[in-house]
Amino acid sequence: LVNAQQARRVLDRIVGYTVSPVASSRLNESLSAGRVQSVALKMVVDREREIQAFKPQEYWNLKAELKGENKNSFKALLSEKNGKKYKPSNSEEAEKVENELKNSQFKVKTVKKTVVKSHAPAPFITSTMQQDGSIKLGVTAPQIMAIAQRLYEGVETPQGNVALITYMRTDSLRISEEALAAAGEVIRSRYGEKYYPGQPRRYKPKANAQDGHEAIRPSNVTLYPELVEQDLTRDQYRLYKLIWNRFIASQMENAVYDVTAIEATCENQVFRATHQSVAFAGFTAIYEEGKDDEQEAIGSP
């Protein structure tokens, strides 16, 4: 530990003594630069330069509406030409392809049917809660944290002050055994036995996770969002429901989809179509309940 401290001290001087004067003179104010901030800033600058250097290229998606003998139709996307991936690069090229194929017959080359499973998401940690909350609730990350702080500290209910969620600053995916068992009971009683995988799901922690606190979850999973809605502000309710849904979903069975992939050929070009239907809702059943709230959030200030 002593050697590590000395190494950090030397590196700070090597970097700081070199970069700090330059930064101060360029920006006309007294600044200091360290071994970590300087490298992090370089990474941001390099990425920004990549973005600025990007040259967008025009391309067109060309779809064909195809009908079989049973008169059912489906749309397929142009994917290949002469055995290579292909998209028209401008409107003239797209129109040329359209005219070539307009009166031609398409032939189904392959039909593949598969079953795909979608795994339940892990419970929230701080970063994923901020990301999901910003997207679905339309508020900033600091606002998300302020609302979560209030839910953690507790809100007034007829039963007194109740803390609704666990600590919201965490990078751990660990869940207590008691909470896992309670989640299983809620899933079986609310959704049915087939929606529970039969045993708790435990998620592998990320490398270097602090693991000082559990993942973000409801303090009491039997406090369904609708039971506490009247005691919360609109934003508190929406975030609590997001956290409750995510935690319960993390312990539910996988969703299962029937996927059909079709390749249709015409001349030297290949069109592809994919259709997906739900065979078993699994953890997605919980989000069907929350669609109205998410739709309400879209466009909100």
Q: What is the pLDDT of residues 120-134, one digit of tens each?
A: 999 999 999 999 999
- Whether residue 207 has pLDDT greater than 90: no
| Confidence band, pLDDT 50/70/90 cuts, at residue 116 | very high
User: DSSP characters for 176-202?
Assistant: -HHHHHHHHHHHHHHT-GGGS-SS---
| Confidence band, pLDDT 50/70/90 cuts, at residue 291 | low
Mean pLDDT throughout 227-231? Answer: 94
| Confidence band, pLDDT 50/70/90 cuts, at residue 267 | confident
Q: Which residues are catalytic?
A: 167
Mean pLDDT throughout 240-259? Answer: 97
CA distance 88 to 222: 55
Q: Tens digits of per-residue pLDDT, 45-57?
A: 999 999 999 999 9
- Whether residue 212 has pLDDT greater than 90: no
| Confidence band, pLDDT 50/70/90 cuts, at residue 296 | very low
What's the pTM? 0.74
Mean pLDDT throughout 194-203? Answer: 94
Q: Tens digits of per-residue pLDDT, 84-109?
A: 999 999 999 999 999 989 888 999 99
How high does pLDDT run on average in the chain? 91
Mean pLDDT throughout 143-172? Answer: 94
Q: For the chain, give the longest Cα–Cα distance.
A: 79
Provide the pairing of β-strand 73-81 with 269-280: antiparallel
Least confident segment among 20-29, 148-157, 270-279: 20-29
Report pLDDT for 204. 86
Mean pLDDT throughout 30-59? Answer: 92
Among the listed residues 85, 81, 76, 104, the one whose alpha carbon sits nearest the alpha carbon of residue 262: 76
Question: Residue 77: which H helix or E strand, with range?
Answer: strand 73-81
Provide the pairing of β-strand 84-85 with 63-67: unpaired
CA distance 98 to 91: 10
CA distance 171 to 214: 8
| Confidence band, pLDDT 50/70/90 cuts, at residue 301 | very low
Mean pLDDT throughout 250-269? Answer: 95
Report pLDDT for 61. 95
CA distance 266 to 173: 50
